[in-house]
Amino acid sequence: MKYKNTLKRGSVRYIIFKENGTWYGVALEFNIVEDGDNPLEVMASLFQAIQGYVENARKLKIRPMPLNQKPDKEYDELWDKLEKGKTERITIPEQVYTFGLHPFRANAFAR
Protein backbone atom coordinates (compact mmCIF):
# COMPACT_ATOMS: atom_id res chain seq x y z
CA MET A 1 0.00 0.00 0.00
CA LYS A 2 1.34 3.42 -0.95
CA TYR A 3 0.97 6.21 1.59
CA LYS A 4 0.76 9.97 0.99
CA ASN A 5 2.78 10.75 4.13
CA THR A 6 6.04 9.06 5.01
CA LEU A 7 8.62 9.60 7.74
CA LYS A 8 10.61 11.71 5.27
CA ARG A 9 7.90 14.05 3.94
CA GLY A 10 4.24 14.73 3.48
CA SER A 11 1.50 17.18 4.32
CA VAL A 12 -1.43 17.35 6.65
CA ARG A 13 -4.70 19.19 6.11
CA TYR A 14 -5.66 21.58 8.90
CA ILE A 15 -8.68 23.68 9.83
CA ILE A 16 -8.89 26.42 12.47
CA PHE A 17 -12.49 27.07 13.49
CA LYS A 18 -14.69 28.29 16.34
CA GLU A 19 -17.43 26.26 17.95
CA ASN A 20 -19.44 27.20 21.06
CA GLY A 21 -17.05 30.03 21.92
CA THR A 22 -13.88 27.91 21.73
CA TRP A 23 -11.32 27.94 18.91
CA TYR A 24 -10.16 24.54 17.62
CA GLY A 25 -7.33 23.50 15.36
CA VAL A 26 -7.53 20.10 13.69
CA ALA A 27 -4.83 18.19 11.81
CA LEU A 28 -7.00 15.84 9.81
CA GLU A 29 -4.60 13.02 8.82
CA PHE A 30 -3.07 12.91 12.32
CA ASN A 31 -6.35 13.26 14.25
CA ILE A 32 -4.78 15.93 16.44
CA VAL A 33 -7.10 18.55 17.97
CA GLU A 34 -5.92 21.64 19.86
CA ASP A 35 -8.18 24.22 21.50
CA GLY A 36 -7.92 27.69 22.96
CA ASP A 37 -9.29 31.22 23.21
CA ASN A 38 -7.45 32.73 20.24
CA PRO A 39 -7.21 31.37 16.67
CA LEU A 40 -3.55 32.35 16.25
CA GLU A 41 -2.53 30.63 19.48
CA VAL A 42 -4.49 27.54 18.47
CA MET A 43 -2.79 27.50 15.07
CA ALA A 44 0.67 27.84 16.65
CA SER A 45 -0.16 25.08 19.13
CA LEU A 46 -1.45 22.82 16.34
CA PHE A 47 1.68 23.33 14.22
CA GLN A 48 3.86 22.53 17.27
CA ALA A 49 1.82 19.38 17.88
CA ILE A 50 2.25 18.37 14.24
CA GLN A 51 6.00 18.94 14.50
CA GLY A 52 6.22 16.87 17.69
CA TYR A 53 4.12 14.11 16.18
CA VAL A 54 6.38 13.84 13.14
CA GLU A 55 9.56 14.03 15.25
CA ASN A 56 8.37 11.22 17.53
CA ALA A 57 7.26 9.09 14.59
CA ARG A 58 10.70 9.52 13.08
CA LYS A 59 12.54 8.70 16.33
CA LEU A 60 10.44 5.57 16.80
CA LYS A 61 10.75 4.65 13.09
CA ILE A 62 7.08 3.74 12.99
CA ARG A 63 5.23 2.55 9.95
CA PRO A 64 3.46 5.28 7.94
CA MET A 65 -0.08 4.35 9.04
CA PRO A 66 -0.23 6.87 11.96
CA LEU A 67 0.77 9.61 9.50
CA ASN A 68 -2.15 8.68 7.22
CA GLN A 69 -5.12 8.23 9.52
CA LYS A 70 -8.71 8.44 8.38
CA PRO A 71 -10.05 11.82 9.57
CA ASP A 72 -13.15 12.19 11.68
CA LYS A 73 -16.17 12.38 9.35
CA GLU A 74 -17.24 15.81 10.68
CA TYR A 75 -13.85 17.36 9.90
CA ASP A 76 -13.57 15.63 6.51
CA GLU A 77 -16.99 16.99 5.49
CA LEU A 78 -16.03 20.50 6.66
CA TRP A 79 -12.80 20.26 4.63
CA ASP A 80 -14.75 19.22 1.53
CA LYS A 81 -17.12 22.17 1.97
CA LEU A 82 -14.21 24.60 2.37
CA GLU A 83 -12.43 23.21 -0.69
CA LYS A 84 -15.64 23.43 -2.70
CA GLY A 85 -15.86 27.10 -1.70
CA LYS A 86 -12.60 27.79 -3.56
CA THR A 87 -14.20 27.05 -6.94
CA GLU A 88 -17.91 27.60 -6.35
CA ARG A 89 -19.90 30.43 -4.84
CA ILE A 90 -20.86 28.96 -1.52
CA THR A 91 -20.84 30.56 1.89
CA ILE A 92 -17.89 29.51 3.99
CA PRO A 93 -18.90 29.32 7.64
CA GLU A 94 -17.90 32.49 9.51
CA GLN A 95 -16.51 30.43 12.36
CA VAL A 96 -13.66 29.15 10.13
CA TYR A 97 -10.53 31.24 10.65
CA THR A 98 -8.35 29.47 8.09
CA PHE A 99 -7.59 26.09 6.52
CA GLY A 100 -4.90 24.65 4.33
CA LEU A 101 -2.11 22.12 3.87
CA HIS A 102 0.81 22.11 6.27
CA PRO A 103 3.81 20.43 4.61
CA PHE A 104 6.38 18.64 6.71
CA ARG A 105 9.78 17.15 6.21
CA ALA A 106 11.05 15.09 9.08
CA ASN A 107 14.67 16.16 8.57
CA ALA A 108 13.60 19.82 8.69
CA PHE A 109 12.61 19.24 12.32
CA ALA A 110 15.98 17.76 13.26
CA ARG A 111 17.95 19.82 15.71
Q: What is the pLDDT of residues 11-33, one digit of tens each?
A: 999 999 999 999 999 999 999 99
**Per-residue pLDDT tens digits for 24-76:** 999 999 999 999 999 999 999 999 999 999 999 999 999 989 999 999 999 99
- For the chain, how many structural domains are there in total? 1
Specify if 14 maps to a domain: yes
Q: Is residue 3 part of a domain?
A: no
Q: Any idea what the CATH number is for the domain that residue 54 is in?
A: 3.30.160
| Residue 82 maps to a domain | yes
**Is residue 4 included in any domain, yes or no?**
no
Mean pLDDT of 103-109: 68
Domain interval for residue 86? 9-109
- Domain-embedded: residue 15: yes
- Amino acid identity, residue 3? Y
Compare 53 and 109 and report the one with higher pLDDT.
53
What is the CB neighbour count within 10 angstroms for residue 91? 7
Q: Which helix (H) or strand (E) holds 75?
A: helix 73-87
